[in-house]
Amino acid sequence: MKNQNQNPFAAAVKHINGPLPLVNLLSWFFFFVCGLTLGIILCFHYKSFSFNLQLNNGQFSIFTSPSTLPLVTNEITSNTSHVGLKEYVERANNVAHNMTDEELLWRASMTPRIQEFPFHNVPKVAFMFLTRGPVLLAPLWEKFFKGHKGLYSIYVHSDPSFNEPEPEFSVFHGRRIPSKKVEWGHASMIEAERRLLANALLDFSNQRFVLLSETCIPLYNFSTIYSYLMNSTQNFVEAYDLPGPVGRGRYSIHMSPIIKRRQWRKGSQWFEMDRDLAIEVISDRKYFPCISKLLQGFLLC
């Protein structure tokens, strides 16, 4: 018994091999109950103690610390890693990013499945300008947007060589998205449109997406256009079947079977669409890559 008291662990090991006498079993049970009771008492008494399991240089260490003292957590309390919803939503309206097209499209293809916003949200119209240089009719647009801040967002895709800054008072100031060279009738044109859509989709408040050229002018005032678009259940995308060489004639058998002859339509590149369709456009991995390959001179898509 003396031996057991001095080193209960050694005794336990010894007893695993031999038969366990009833007395010993009872004494272990007694120890166990005492330990358990002590544990429960301590637990209730020091409710304010918290456990911390840390992995340091590959070694585990357990220590307790009263939770009334601030825990020494390095990153969690610092501002940089503490991104709330507000920051996340506001940052989305900033067009200055350095994402590649692939990264941008992937990021923009995400869509919340919960329809209700957990914050105050005013739906906006995204006006997306596809230009070569500056927005030529900017003064007219300035007048159009005046007094309607918060109901629109502006995105400009101009030639990458154009880098004249917009004056700070302008609604176009800081609204130029990272762009690439565009050639009419080339896949780069569609890429630019997808880039504009993707940038605009990053902002969850944008509900309607209007593609405009540098020579477009508004024919109605802002409130008329805003309520017309917001109340509309339609998308305004031109697509019609045109017999003759510039319509049906442009269909290539090499597009088959991805694009079938009966699916082929002609239409203008300018559009106005809602968020659902815009997400479909930028997420398309079937039709655009096919058209893009043929436009680049590949024989098959």
Ligand X SMILES: *[C@@H]1O[C@H](CO)[C@@H](O)[C@H](O)[C@H]1NC(C)=O
> Residue type for 101, please?
D
Minimum CB distance to ligand X, residue 106 (Å): 12
* Residue 138 CB-density burial (10 A; 0-12 exposed, 13-18 middle, 19+ buried): middle
**Residue range at the interface with ligand X (CB under 6 A); choices 112-120, 135-143, 176-184, 223-231:** 223-231
Range in contact with ligand X (rule: CB under 6 A) among 21-29, 226-234, 272-280, 287-295: 226-234
Per-residue contact flags (x/-) with ligand X for residues 57 to 96, judged by CB under 6 A: --------------------xxx-----------------
Per-residue binding letters, 230-269, with ligand X (x by CB under 6 A): xx--------------------------------------
**Environment class of 203 (CB within 10 Å of its CB; exposed 0-12, middle 13-18, buried 19+):** buried
Binds ligand X (CB under 6 A): choice among 3, 37, 61, 224: 224
CB of 122 to ligand X, least distance (A): 10
Under rule CB under 6 A, residue 121 binds ligand X: no
Count of other CB atoms within 10 angstroms of residue 179: 19
Residue with smaller CB distance to ligand X, 67 or 77: 77
Q: Exposed e or buried b for every residue in 87-98, given b needs 16+ CB within 10 A?
A: eebeebeebeee
Q: Is there binding between residue 37 and ligand X (CB under 6 A)? A: no
Q: Do residues 49 and 41 make contact, with C-beta atoms less than 8 angstroms apart? A: no
Q: Which is closer to ligand X, CB of 273 or CB of 301? A: 273
Report in angstroms how near the CB of residue 292 gets to ligand X at its nearest. 21
Contacts of 268 (CB under 8 A, 6+ apart): 238
Tokens 């003396």, residue located: 2
Ordered alpha helix ranges (H), 150-262:
187-201, 222-231
For ligand X, the binding residues (CB under 6 A) are 77-79, 98, 100, 221, 223-224, 227, 230-231
